[in-house]
Amino acid sequence: MNPAERRDIELDCARLINVYATLNDQARWEDLVALFTADGLMTRPTAPQDPIVGREALLAAFRARPPRTTQHICSNIVVTAETEDTASASSVILLYVDPDKPPLVGTFHDRFVRTDGVWQFSERRGGLSFQPLP
pLDDT band for position 133 (cuts 50, 70, 90)? low
The pLDDT of residue 105:
95
pLDDT tens profile 67-77: 999 999 999 99
Any idea where the domains of the chain sit in the sequence?
A: 3-128
Separation CA 48–CA 61 (nearest Å): 14
Separation CA 47–CA 51 (nearest Å): 8
Mean of the pLDDT values across residues 91-95? 96
The pLDDT of residue 131:
75
Q: Which fold has domain 3-128?
A: Nuclear Transport Factor 2; Chain: A, (3.10.450)
Specify the amino acid at residue 82. Answer: E
pLDDT band for position 86 (cuts 50, 70, 90)? very high
**Exposed e or buried b for every residue in 102-120, given b needs 16+ CB within 10 A?**
ebbbbbbebbbbbeeeebb
pLDDT tens profile 97-109: 988 888 999 999 9
